[in-house]
Amino acid sequence: MIELIRTLTETYGPAGNETRIRQVLRDMVKGKVDELKVDALGNLIALRKGKGGRKVMLAAHMDEIGIVVNYVDEKGFLRFSALGGVFPHTLLGNRVEFENGVVGVIGVEKLESPDKVPTFDKLYIDVGAESREDCPVKVGDIGVFSRPLIAQGQRLIAKAFDDRVGCAVLVKLLEEIGDCEHDLYIVFTVQEELGLRGAVTSAYGIAPDVGIAVDVTRTGDTPEAPKMAVALGKGPAVKVKDARMISHPGVRQALIRAAEQNGIPYQLEVLEGGTTDAAAIQLTREGIPTGVISIPCRYIHTPSEMVDLRDVENAVRLLLAYLSSKELTE
């Protein structure tokens, strides 16, 4: 599992340019499904046919946050803006990698007050160029954080756990699942970080009977963290609500019962800010009963996110148990 997650987190794939990570995921699942296609927006949709049961959509977004270059000055320094939820206070001294392999360091202009968090207009990227003409990065190029995965016991540290760890759960599910009554639509969505765009189009095309998103969620187990009943190492979280959706009560209870009946640790998630692909799936067509399995994650949307491997593995177990439950069949 660790090497699977490592491959996914270290692959370039910002929102709007998911070509490379999509190919990696395609190679991982192509021998495990009956049909595989890429839709017009770029979602990778894998169908594993069942035995006449329900249409179940399982979604994890493959895009990651990043930065986009909006200006190159005469000395070859890059000015940039956020692609998705990127925050200036997490950036100083960090490295970003562009699609062509060029790596740059994020620097900051001299500030009037070192106590103030700089704004994006005070930040720049240094790729070692000596002039605008010499610069190997151009306006419109997109960079992502450049960080390798580190494993320390059960804790993993890397960039892009949001949501490559969800993608890993779905890949592992396909490796471990046996016969299933239901048609499983495994969807690796695009542009979630820009407004759930891939989930909107893929859910409309599939028109599933049930939808489950697999994504990360924040925790309340760090110093002076906001009060939240989610912690690393205590199991995947079954979402109750977030800023844009309330999970379908039937789906939520089915997930809880699947966990309890199979001895799988779980937590309940009430997230005050943020959302997932489930918010878009839920509002598709006439409405889709939708729930979320969340992987607890510290330091979301920073260059160094942290998850517990046991939570990831138990998320796979929970999905397997849910897909074989009588409640889903009925």
Closest residue by Cα to residue 125 from 158, 84, 157, 88: 88
- Reported as a single tens digit per residue, the pLDDT across 125-184 is 999 999 999 999 999 999 999 999 999 999 999 999 999 999 999 999 999 999 999 999
Q: In Å, what is the CA distance from 27 to each residue of 22, 23, 24?
A: 9, 6, 5
Residue 305 has pLDDT above 90, yes or no: yes
C-alpha 247/C-alpha 252 separation (Å) is: 6
State the average pLDDT over residues 33-47. 98
Long-range contacts formed by 225-229: CB under 8 A, 24+ apart = 226/272, 228/270, 228/271, 228/272, 229/267, 229/268, 229/269, 229/270
Catalytic residues: 192
- Percent of the chain having pLDDT more than 90? 93
pLDDT value of residue 251: 97
pLDDT value of residue 330: 58
Instruction: Output DSSP code: residue 210.
Output: E
- Reported as a single tens digit per residue, the pLDDT across 78-95 is 999 999 999 999 999 999
Q: In Å, what is the CA distance from 329 to each residue of 53, 214, 323?
A: 7, 20, 8
- Reported as a single tens digit per residue, the pLDDT across 211-263 is 999 999 999 999 988 889 999 999 999 999 999 999 999 999 999 999 999 99
pLDDT value of residue 329: 57
pTM score, whole prediction: 0.96
Domains and CATH numbers, the chain: 2-64+159-329 (3.40.630.10), 67-145 (2.40.30.40)
Q: In Å, what is the CA distance from 266 to each residue of 92, 186, 214, 315, 317?
A: 36, 23, 14, 9, 11
- Reported as a single tens digit per residue, the pLDDT across 96-131 is 999 999 999 999 998 877 788 899 999 999 999 999
pLDDT value of residue 209: 97
pLDDT value of residue 225: 86
Residue 54 has pLDDT above 80, yes or no: yes
Q: In what side-by-side order are the strands of the sheet with 150-152? A: 150-152, 155-158, 305-308
DSSP secondary structure of 78-128: EEEEEESS--GGGTTT-EEEETTS-EEEEEEPPPS-TTSPPPGGGEEEE-S
C-alpha 62/C-alpha 13 separation (Å) is: 7
State the average pLDDT over residues 21-33. 98
Report which secondary-structure segment, H or E, holds 292: strand 290-296
